[in-house]
Amino acid sequence: MADGPRLSHTSAMILQAVGIGHIYGYTVMEVTGLASGTVYPALRRLERDRLIRSQWERQSIADAALRPARRYYKLTPSGEAAVEASRKRYPLLAKLASKEQVQDV
């Protein structure tokens, strides 16, 4: 498929959120307004489809910040292509705020 895999609006929104820097499940929930029961299964599905990959952050980083280690998500190259394709399909996705924009507000 030339345009990459076709995603539902919800999946595209979550993928877009990860792509603009919301790399934790909870921050994806915050920026998209979706419930945890939607976001976490969707993240697993996107990881299964190899559009994102997840990793636990290093325990030493978490220990230094006196907090538990978190699982974070990053786009894979095919995920980046899927984001590009879904932006064409869902132009409003570009309005999702990046992490830096959220912090500025």
Partner 1 sequence: MKSELPQYLILRAASLLAPSDQRAEWLAGWQSELWYIPRRGATRFCLGAFQDALWLRRNDPSPVERSGLHLVSPLSCLAFLAALAVAISLIAVRMPGPQLGPRPTHLSARDLPGGSIGMLLLSGLALPAIRLAIGPGANRCPIPWPGRLRRGIFLALKIALLQPILFGGFVVVLPILSVPIANLGSIASWTLAFRWVLIDQQRRCPVCLRLLTEPVRIGSASQTFLEWYGAESTCSRGHGLLHISEMPASYSAKPEWLRLGDSWRSLFGSACPSSDAAGVRQR
Our finding on whether 83 is near partner 1 (CB under 8 A) is no
Q: What is the dihedral of CA 1, 5, 16, 34, to 10 degrees?
A: 160
Our finding on whether 90 is near partner 1 (CB under 8 A) is no
Give 24 or 90: the residue with its C-beta nearer to partner 1: 24
**Rounded Cα distance, 78 and 76, in Å:** 5
Our finding on whether 91 is near partner 1 (CB under 8 A) is no
What residues between 10 and 69 interact with partner 1 by CB under 8 A?
A: 24-26, 29, 35-41, 44-45, 48-49, 67-69
Give 69 or 97: the residue with its C-beta nearer to partner 1: 69
DSSP, collapsed to helix, strand or coil, labels residue 47 as helix
In the chain, what is the straight-line distance between the N-terminal and C-terminal CA atoms, in Å?
A: 39
How would you label 17-29 residue by residue, b for 16+ Cβ within 10 Å and e otherwise? bbbbebbebebbb
Give 38 or 98: the residue with its C-beta nearer to partner 1: 38
Which stretches of the chain bind partner 1, using CB under 8 A? 5-8, 24-26, 29, 35-41, 44-45, 48-49, 67-71
